[in-house]
Amino acid sequence: PYDFAALEPHIDAKTMEIHHGKHHATYIAGLNAALAKAPDLAKQPLEELLAALPGVADETLRTPLRNHGGGHWNHTFFWETLAPASKSGEPSEAFAGAISSAFGSMDAFKKAFAEAAAKRFGSGWAWLILQDGKLKITSTPNQDNPLMKGLVPDAELGTPILGLDVWEHAYYLHYQNRRPDYIAAFWNVVNWDVVAENFAK
Ligand code: MN3
């Protein structure tokens, strides 16, 4: 919902163009190719499909659904929770209060989230999730996410409220190896209105 250059200088236009136009597009094509072989699965919402993956017995179908279905869901979610710095806004009172209750303060939350994002080895995501009414931070490898029941043993499951892509394709053109700098810059372009909506839902 914004131009490729809208998140400059925090996330550069070239990265956004390739990330959205090539990487995300590849996940969509891969998901559609997998679903073409399983038209019954194509009828359900993507969230339900991801939660039902352990029930897909055919590994040659389950793996592309996991990787490309996860990739499509994660990126769609990610774009929506970003905004130009001028429109980033502030966390709502209700959300900020819930963050303080869960983590002590907004700063403590950001520090813990950034640590989860920095420590994710290789490619993956950091998440703020709501699990049984409680806010938690977790992280997932590859294109897995906290909606994937029974597939991600080390991750907490729940409803994503905020997510950060820490694949190198998300930051390498501008930040090279400096993932912590990308994570720090991310806070400037969080769409706090959408995050508050996700939390309220
Ligand atoms: Mn990505």
Give the span between the Cα atoms of 126 and 190, in whole angstroms.
14
Q: Cis (ω within 30 of 0) for the bond into 9?
A: yes
Give the span between the Cα atoms of 116 and 102, in whole angstroms.
16
8 Å CB contact between 147 and 47? yes
Q: Quick check: helix, strand or coil at residue 159?
A: strand
**Mean predicted confidence (pLDDT) in 71-84:** 98
Please give the distance, rounded to the nearest whole angstrom, from the Cα atom of residue 186 to the centre of ligand 1. Answer: 14
What pLDDT digit, counting tens, does each position of 103-137 carry?
A: 999 999 999 999 999 999 999 999 999 999 999 99
Confidence bin at 75 (pLDDT 50/70/90) = very high
Please give the distance, rounded to the nearest whole angstrom, from the Cα atom of residue 170 to the centre of ligand 1. Answer: 5
What pLDDT digit, counting tens, does each position of 16-69 carry?
A: 999 999 999 999 999 999 999 999 999 999 999 999 999 999 999 999 999 999
- pTM here is 0.96
- Residue whose structure tokens are 């501008």: 174
Predicted local confidence at residue 81, as pLDDT: 98
139 forms beta bridges with 126
Task: Name the strands in the sheet holding 124-131, side by side, starting at the edge strand that comes first in the sequence.
Answer: 134-141, 124-131, 159-165
Residues lying with their CB under 5 A of ligand 1, a single-atom ion? 165, 167, 170
Please give the distance, rounded to the nearest whole angstrom, from the Cα atom of residue 24 to the centre of ligand 1. Answer: 7
